[in-house]
Amino acid sequence: MRVRNSDKVQLVKQTAIELIVKDGLEGFSMNKLAKACNISVATLYIYYKDRDDLILKIAMEEGTVMAEAMIKDFNPDMPFEDGLRRQWLNRYAYIKDKPQINSFFEQLRTSSYQEEFLAGFLTEFKVTMSKFMHNIIDRGEIEVMPFEVYWSIAFSPLYNLIRFDNEGKSMGGKPFKLTDEMLWQAFELVVKALKK
């Protein structure tokens, strides 16, 4: 009999994310992970079939947590500005809580895991987000535009400010710390840009 220690499972997940963010998917192995967690490789293989299984399971679990965090107190029928503000609040709070997660998903996004990770996954979350955009277009709150254009204007400024903040510097290495004032100033400008 072995004991399933949920603290250990949590440690494995957290360490795997840290290693993937630090060394990339190429440099990530079960052996390295076991060493970093101070557990035996066999323990890892009890929980996970192989390296792919581990990466995908962690990605699915983290993706579900992310989707829940992002749709908290949000519904697709909200008026444009309220809905977008809620999205900014949720996304900002989630990334503040899990600063490494964006780099982790970014690693997956540019890898062969992408297809499996995205296929049929987060469907509800994606439907909610797309419903919100269609609702605000139908109500004439914003112009008709492709989803990609909407997303880029609505969220890229937020993610870019967060990236500067995470790195502690902006263009040309200039020291940078994101304040609430800057965040909401950017939000107001985004609203202005999108609102009809």
Closer CB to other proteins, residue 8 or residue 85?
Answer: 8
Residue type, 169: K
Whole-angstrom distance, CA of residue 138 vs CA of residue 51: 45
Report the distance separating Cα 113 and Cα 143, nearest Å.
35
The set of residues, in sequence order, having a beta carbon less than 8 Å from that of 8 and lying 6+ positions away, is 37, 39, 43
Q: Considering the complex, what minimum distance in angstroms separates the CB of residue 57 from other proteins?
A: 14
Q: Closest separation between CB of residue 7 and other proteins, Å?
A: 8
Closest distance of CB 112 from other proteins, Å? 12
> Which CB atom, from 29 or from 130, has the smaller least distance to other proteins?
29
Are residues 17 and 62 in contact, defined by beta-carbon separation less than 8 angstroms? yes
Q: Report residue 119: phi and psi, to 5°.
A: -60, 115
Taking the least distance from each CB to other proteins, the nearer of 3 and 171 is 3
Residue 104 CB, shortest distance to other proteins, in Å, is 18
Q: Would you say 117 and 108 are in contact if contact means Cβ atoms under 8 Å apart?
A: yes
- The nearer residue to other proteins, 5 or 130, going by C-beta atoms, is 5
Q: At what angle do helices 147-167 and 180-194 cross, to 10 degrees?
A: 170
Quick one: 87 or 107, whose CB is closer to other proteins?
A: 107
Residues that bind other proteins (CB under 8 A): 1-7, 29-31, 40-42, 45-46, 49-52
Q: What is the largest CA-CA distance in the chain?
A: 64
29 vs 75, beta carbon nearer other proteins: 29
Residues in a beta bridge with 140: none
Task: Give me the least distance between CB of 68 and other proteins, in Å please.
Answer: 21
Minimum CB–partner distance for residue 34 and other proteins (Å):
10
Q: How far apart are CA 174 and CA 183, in angstroms?
A: 18
